[in-house]
Structure 1
Amino acid sequence: MQRVELVKKIESAGVIAVVRGTSKEQGKKACEALIAGGMKGLEITFTLPKADEVIEELIAKRTDTKIVIGAGTVLDVITARLAILAGAEFIVSPTFDQATAELCNLYQIPYLPGCMTITEMKTALKAGVDIVKLFPGSAFGPAILSAFKAPLPQLNIMPTGGVSSENLAEWLRAGAIAVGAGGKLLAPAEKGDYQQVTKNAEEYMKEYQQFKETVNE
């Protein structure tokens, strides 16, 4: 099934870059810089002007089939459908929304809603959610994953917020299926320093690859 394959791509990407910005151009340049740094997962947020156009254009230019491109900060089902029609391969929300979950199920697109409690996570699972976004991760810490997964071992969690190149391996070792990274990773884009964005992406992916090597040993 398409949705299963897309979940596998998210897991394989390891780090999902949360792309924000003040203009379409800034968003596109940031995405290109991230890809140049080896990033395979991009979450184009709808706080970015013309986010649907950025998604559509990135997918049209994509040559690496391992790259997975989705939409973030999706607050309602209308925005979710707009993103999916633009080609988004996953949908991320800051909170759980039943109508959005149903739409994503219809189109066989993974839905990653933000959840903070075990009750919210159970509700999301009942709606067919494949991955729960623990948001903000900075309010907890890697140790919380085992607490959530004790009663719900089938839960796939992607922490976002407070994830850095220094602690991403901790989150993954604790059981995260992938991690979301934004602020620190993309901060240089606000000043137009896309070369530094690429360097930051390289650092994140270096840490991720080192984690993968230790797992496979």
Structure 2
Amino acid sequence: MDKIEILSKMREEKVVAVIRAQNEEQGLLVSEAIRQGGIKFLELTMTVPGALDVIKKLSDKYAGEEVIVGAGTVLDPETARLAILAGAKFIVGPNLSPEVITMCHRYRVAVMPGVMSPTEALTAIELGADVIKVFPGGAFGPSVVKDFKGPLPQGNFMPSGGVTVENASEWIKNGAFAIGTGSSLTKGATTGDYEAVTHEAEKFVAIVK
């Protein structure tokens, strides 16, 4: 699946699971639980110990399936390149790094930098960002997507942070290209309850369909 197909699929599926974990094993278990719940975009954050190995294992495991593995919390171009070589099909950052965007363009991989202001959002668009991550979304609320899209209708905005089952539909109604959800989705994993993670994933999928 190439970059254009991945972005089209993300627009259709809407939900990106942001995965943080204490270790490699937990990262793999959480990812599988989320997949079983029907979410097809897995953003494995680089804060997970052994993140590159997890990305490679997930990419190999789901090769041929409609599950897209990407890397999150990517702060610099070196990390972006390593994640891409490990199999990441999209790169997400909490910040706006022109160098990361350039690196992703070099490998024709979808890139999604983080912004907090219209000025940063416009810069991201001018640099060729595929999707603009509004982070932390919880600091703004769902209406911020509409506020950004007013002057910047050409932008694809994805809120991340503060997105829950309770407010997911509001983000979508306000024009979100996709939504990124992490702790509210994976909280069951902290006690080893991966079935709860699957159920939460199912709720998100049902809301956006």
TM-score, normalised with respect to structure 1: 0.93
Deviation at 1:64, TM superposition (A): 5.7
Deviation at 1:65, TM superposition (A): 3.3
Partner of 1:79: helix, strand, or coil? Answer: helix
Deviation at 1:13, TM superposition (A): 2.4
The aligned runs of 1:106-125 (5 Å cut-off) are 106-125=106-125
Which segment is superposed worse, 75-84 or 144-153? Answer: 144-153
- Tell me the matched-pair count: 209
Give per-residue Cα distances to partners, 1:173-209, cap 9 Å, x unaligned. Answer: 1100100000111011111111111111111111122
Question: Is the counterpart of residue 166 in structure 1 residue 166 in structure 2?
Answer: yes
Distance 1:156 1:135 in 2: 14
The aligned runs of 1:121-160 (5 Å cut-off) are 121-160=121-160
Distance 2:62 2:3 in 1: 19
Unaligned runs of 5+ in 1: 210-217
Give per-residue Cα distances to partners, 1:76-101, cap 9 Å, x unaligned. Answer: 11110000001101000010111110
Deviation at 1:32, TM superposition (A): 0.4
Question: Is the counterpart of residue 104 in structure 1 residue 111 in structure 2?
Answer: no
Distance 2:84 2:170 in 1: 32
Give per-residue Cα distances to partners, 1:159-185, cap 9 Å, x unaligned. Answer: 001111111111111100100000111
AA aligned opposite 2:146: S
AA aligned opposite 2:151: P
Question: Is the counterpart of residue 183 in structure 1 residue 179 in structure 2?
Answer: no
Distance 1:32 1:188 in 2: 13
AA aligned opposite 1:67: V
RMSD: 1.3
Distance 1:171 1:200 in 2: 17
Distance 2:102 2:169 in 1: 33
Deviation at 1:67, TM superposition (A): 1.6
AA aligned opposite 2:117: T
Q: Which residue of 1 aligns with 2:32?
A: 32
| Percent identical residues | 45
Deviation at 1:12, TM superposition (A): 2.2
Distance 2:39 2:150 in 1: 31
AA aligned opposite 1:33: A
Q: Which residue of 2 aligns with 1:76?
A: 76
Distance 1:190 1:64 in 2: 30
Partner of 1:151: helix, strand, or coil? Answer: coil
Deviation at 1:63, TM superposition (A): 5.4
Partner of 1:16: helix, strand, or coil? Answer: strand
Q: Which residue of 2 aligns with 1:198?
A: 198
Give per-residue Cα distances to partners, 1:15-53, cap 9 Å, x unaligned. Answer: 101000110000000000000111111100000011111
For the Cα contact (< 8 Å) 1:13–1:67, is it kept in 2?
no
Task: Kindly report structure 1 stretches of 4+ aligned residues shifted beyond 4 Å.
Answer: none
Unaligned runs of 5+ in 2: none
